[in-house]
Chain A
Amino acid sequence: MSLPLFVIFAALLIVSALGVILQRNPVRSALSLVVTLFLLAVVFIFLEAHLVALLQIVVYAGAIMVLFLFVIMLLNLQSEPVEVGRVGLRFAAAAAGSLFALQLIWVARAKGFLAGGMNDGLPADFGSTTVLGEKLFTQYLLPFEITSVLLLVAIIGAVVLAKRQVN
């Protein structure tokens, strides 16, 4: 995958991620997050993770974000008011966030575990459904079954929590 294309998508990702946290209207934040998820799915395809990219679009952008938008519409959320007298706080937040990111980047560049591998040839079915399914049902069978129990518990919990109390 070529470097200029990666830089373009990285810049778009950062812009849309900033759009998630900086916009005052929650619907616009949700839509910015949908754009971020789609761009991330494209980056996953660049990294030869085809099934994961598909699942990102279908599950994350197609189900979880729709759930978020339903809740925002259900609660009829308005835009956040501009907070008065806190301009200094915004600069402090931006400075702290940049410091945090620089710290992580410094650690990422300092170590020597980044030797090669990205340009080597891959097996032809890397990232395909077959190989992922094979690993999921043989080596990772126990987490898979536990995840199904987790989903059941989440469904029951969500229904119980959101049910209207009949007194």
Chain B
Amino acid sequence: MKRLIAWAAAAALICAMPLCISGYYVNLLTEVAIYAVLAMTIDLLAGYAGRTPLGHGALFGIGAYFAGYTVAVRQGGVLEAVLLGIGAAMAVSLLFALLAIRTSGVSFLLLTLAQGMIVWGVCVRWTSVTGAENGIRGIARPAPVADPIRFYYLAVLVASLAAWALWRFVNSPFGLTLRGIRESETRMRTLGYNVPLHLTIGFVVSGTFAGLAGTLYAFFNTFVSPTNVALATSVKGLLMAIIGGVGTLFGSFVGAAVVILLENFVSVFTDRWPTVLGMIFVATMLFAREGILGKARLLWARSPRLTHKGDQE
């Protein structure tokens, strides 16, 4: 019951948000919702399958490029754009998965990094289709959600549905199998599980949702450029997942909020956002490997009051 009230309060707060803040912040929150979906897809692999990907920015970008190209260049319908964006990300992630799932740890990270860079290279060089550095401009938002506040509600709705779907996914028997593989691949194989198949499906589900986030982003930003596909996007998504706490799924929302708000806050004072992003990464690795939420929980557990209570027991 208590939990239900907390959820309802959170939902009410999220819905009431646009009424009390300016349009600029509404756009920021929309961005948070979109990136949170990307961070969750990374967390799905990093936290539940034990394989940290560094190429999800590319899958996000593929969704964005396909949707943008369909709407802005081919003058196609919105539904067509969304389906193409998600479908393309799904197809590419299947291809990536087939190559990458045999590796783990650092090899997996490097391989997905290289895969992401190929996609980036294609976006930069294939001028006739992607417009190279100029990107694709003029991606019109569909009329019912053209207004920023309405788009915010759409993004929140999509992000909530994605969160719910991914939550169900990681807590299904299939998700438990993935966690088993994370703990010990050999054990799961001995128990008769088809490890490569499980990992491939996990990767494709993750990539498909990354494509969904990218599609949404294309309509949010109305402009797609190679920056959206670049390593920086993968890095940003991974940082959000790590800050939120790997393996917590919903922590991604916290991570996304921290990174996006910080990015905008820092940009007011300086152009050195990449330096700041890099420093946060280094600091997180040195001091808070379990993420901000995890670290906060640890510090809380270590606080004097609780230790004292522990002594008495």
Instruction: Specify whether A and B are partners.
Output: no
Q: Which A residues fall within an 8 A CB radius of B? A: none
Q: Which B residues fall within an 8 A CB radius of A? A: none
